[in-house]
Amino acid sequence: LVGEAGAVVGVDATARQLAVAQEHRGWHAERFGFSNVSFMEGDIAALERLPLADGSFDVVVSNCVINLVADKAAVFRAAHRLLKPGGEMYFSDVYADRRLPASWRDDPVLHGECLAGALYWGDFVAMAKAAGFADPRLVSDRPLAVTDPAVAAKVAEASFFSATWRLFKLDQLDAQCEDYGQAVRFRGRAATGEPLEGADTFVLDKHHRVEAGRMFPVCGNTWRMLAETRFAPAFEVFGDFSRHYGLFPGCGGAMPFSLPSDRAGTAAAACC
C-alpha cells in the first residue's frame, strides 16, 4: 500500500514475534519487488523510547493490542505525536458497554480473552479526544459472544464489542458535527490509489458510505477529513466555513455499537 518509496515500521514487545517477522522479510521483498519494512522491539505505551521522529508517519495501525496495555492513554498520545498533520490512527480493539472492575486485570483468563482490559467506549472517546483526536470515527463493529460458561459467569452482565476506529490528527475539528452547508463528491476508487475491488464506494466510517459521482452533504469535520488528508485527491469538495447552520442533523451521544439481535431496539446509535 505504501509503495516502493514508502516505509513501514513494525513495533512489538515480544522478541519471539519479532524473530518470526524478520524471518519472512525476504519472502515479502521478493514477492513485491522492494524491501521497505523494518521492525523494532518496544512497548507501544512507551514509544518515546524508540528512535521514531515526531510528525513522521501518515498512518498508525494496530489490531487488538491496546486492550492488553495498562496505560492506554499513552498509546493514543504517542500516536498523535508521531502522526503528520492530517495523519490517521486506524485500529481495531475490544470495548465494553460499561467500566469494568479493576480486579479483572489480575485474572489471567479474562486477560487472555482480551476482556479484562476492554475500555468502556465512553472512556475511550474521552481518552482519544484528550490525546488530540477531536472526533473519533467508528468504522465498523460487531458484538462479541462469550461462549465459555466459566468466562460468561465472570463477566456477568457486561457486553463486549469488537470495533474498528479511525482517529484523524486535524487541529481545527469541531467538538460536534457542525453544519456549514458543505458537500463532497467521490471521484471513484481509482483516485484513491487502492486496489479496485468491490463497489465504487468510499467508506469513511459507519455512517459515511460515499458513492462515486454522487453529491454527498457532510458536516465540517467530515469535510476536513476528506479535504485535508491523504484522501483529498479522491474528492471534489464544495463549500467553506463562512456560514454556519447549526448542528448537523442526526448527531447524538448514545452508545455507537450495534447491539446483538436479541437486544436490538434497546438503544439508539449515534451518527458518528
DSSP string, 111-180: HHTT-TTPEEHHHHHHHHHHTT--S-EEEEEEEEP---HHHHHHHTT--EEEEEEEEE--TT--SS-B--
Q: In this predicted structure, what is the pLDDT of residue 55? A: 97
Q: How far apart are CA 208 and CA 230, in angstroms?
A: 17
For 99, other C-beta atoms within 10 Å of its C-beta total 12
Per-residue pLDDT reduced to its tens digit, 97-146: 999 999 998 899 999 899 999 999 999 999 999 999 999 999 999 999 99
Assess contact for 174 and 247: CB atoms under 8 A.
no
Assess contact for 216 and 183: CB atoms under 8 A.
yes
Instruction: Give the max Cα distance, the chain.
Output: 58
Q: In this predicted structure, what is the pLDDT of residue 267? A: 44
**Per-block mean pLDDT, blocks of 10 residues, the chain (272 long):** 90 95 93 92 94 97 94 97 98 96 91 93 97 97 92 91 97 94 92 64 93 96 97 96 91 78 50 34
Q: In this predicted structure, what is the pLDDT of residue 272? A: 35
Closest to 161 in 3D by CA, of 253, 72, 90, 256: 256
Q: How far apart are CA 163 and CA 165, in angstroms?
A: 7
The whole-model pTM stands at 0.89
| Single-letter amino acid code for the residue at 207 | H
Rg for the chain, CA atoms, rounded: 20
